[in-house]
């Protein structure tokens, strides 16, 4: 157990060293706000689909289509848990703050923070299962999340269709299902793009944190509530459900790691998009990301009990 704890802590520490590089780059102006958005675009629309396709290619003959579909089903279950738990808190907060705080509780940074950890701890099998979670996550975030943050019942169907997780699945799943290996001419650049996921994602997160006043960060008590719900309560409820219902250990462990990730960077993006409290949203992302250096290793260790 001690050896496992040290291994997990070491992996998380490696990620935070990468985050530190992004933090320094943001503080010194080497990465501007516009630059971070451009890296974000590359991560979303080039690296994430490449990672999903590359992982599915590596899993041909090793996992079944049925297992991927099971992973999709448990992804839906974990997202419903997150929504049902996260949307019950902060009832007395001012409306604009309430929307941001609840969104930060509900939607995790499963792509930027969770996926690199799954890749590090669970390998390509975990990434293949995580790709199903990303698709389900993006469907929920552009329907329920969109409506909750904007106050509108109009669903973001265009964003659902264009989300990078779905693009990766649409392109990669048929190849996986019919055991079609891509030629080396395509496989090599895909693998190269996929390898950029972890370092680029961590650098972007670090640049986000660099724009938040750390003293102000620790004086906002509502952020402690967000961290307690997002980083402890939701993963604990997910752990209980996965423990009693999920038949596959790797699927369960992958779902738990993704559910235990800090608040998603899209909290700040949606707040800015709809004229909400973008500063509070940025602080929630930064605070929960800092907390995750303590909480995520604990849940990764718990995943070994599933």
Q: Which domains does the chain have, with CATH numbers?
A: 2-303 (1.20.1530.20)
CB 110 within 8 A of CB 135: no
Q: Is it the case that residue 93 has pLDDT exceeding 50? A: yes
| 182 Cβ contact partners less than 8 Å away, ≥ 6 residues apart | 53, 57, 175, 190
Residue 5 pLDDT level (bands cut at 50, 70, 90):
low
**How much is the mean pLDDT over the chain?**
82
Q: Is it the case that residue 6 has pLDDT exceeding 70? A: no
**pLDDT recorded at residue 155:** 58
Tens-place pLDDT, residues 204-226:
778 877 877 777 778 888 899 99
Q: Is it the case that residue 106 has pLDDT exceeding 60? A: yes
Indicate the helix (H) or strand (E) that contains 239: helix 234-245
% pLDDT > 90, the chain: 20
In sign, the C-alpha dihedral spanning 200, 201, 205, 208 is positive
Tens-place pLDDT, residues 152-164:
666 556 666 666 7
Tens-place pLDDT, residues 67-87:
888 998 999 999 999 999 988
- What separation in angstroms does the CA of 162 have from each of 48, 109, 173? 13, 19, 16
Q: Is it the case that residue 3 has pLDDT exceeding 60? A: no
The whole-angstrom distance between residue 9's C-alpha and the CA centroid of its chain comes to 19
Give the residue with greater pLDDT, 243 vs 169.
Answer: 243
State pTM to two decimals: 0.77
């Amino acid at each position: 157990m001690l050896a496992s704890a040290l291994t997990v802590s070491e992996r998380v520490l490696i990620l935070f060293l990468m985050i530190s590089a992004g933090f320094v780059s943001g503080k010194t102006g080497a990465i501007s706000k516009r630059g971070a958005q451009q890296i974000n675009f590359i991560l979303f629309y080039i690296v994430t689909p490449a990672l999903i396709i590359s992982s599915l290619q590596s899993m041909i003959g090793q996992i079944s289509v049925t297992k991927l579909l099971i992973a999709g089903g448990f992804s839906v279950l974990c997202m419903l848990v997150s929504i049902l738990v996260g949307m019950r808190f902060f009832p007395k907060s001012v409306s604009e703050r309430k929307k941001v705080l609840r969104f930060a509780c509900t939607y995790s940074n499963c792509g930027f923070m969770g996926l690199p950890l799954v890749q590090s701890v669970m390998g390509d099998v975990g990434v293949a299962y995580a790709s199903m979670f990303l698709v389900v996550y993006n469907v929920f975030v552009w329907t329920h999340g969109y409506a909750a943050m904007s106050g509108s019942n109009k669903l973001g169907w265009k964003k659902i269709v264009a989300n990078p997780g779905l693009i990766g699945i649409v392109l990669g799943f048929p190849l996986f299902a019919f055991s079609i290996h891509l030629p080396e001419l395509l496989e090599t650049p895909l693998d190269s793009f996929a390898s950029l996921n972890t370092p680029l994602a961590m650098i972007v997160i670090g640049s986000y944190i660099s724009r938040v006043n750390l003293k102000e960060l620790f004086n906002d008590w509502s952020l402690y509530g967000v961290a307690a719900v997002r980083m402890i309560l939701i993963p604990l409820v997910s752990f209980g459900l996965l423990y009693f219902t999920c038949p596959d250990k790797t699927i369960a462990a992958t779902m738990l790691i993704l559910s235990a990730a800090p608040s998603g960077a899209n909290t700040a993006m949606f707040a800015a998009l709809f004229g909400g409290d973008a500063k509070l949203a940025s602080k929630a992302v930064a605070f929960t990301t800092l907390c995750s250096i303590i909480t995520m290793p604990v849940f990764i260790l718990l995943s070994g009990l599933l």
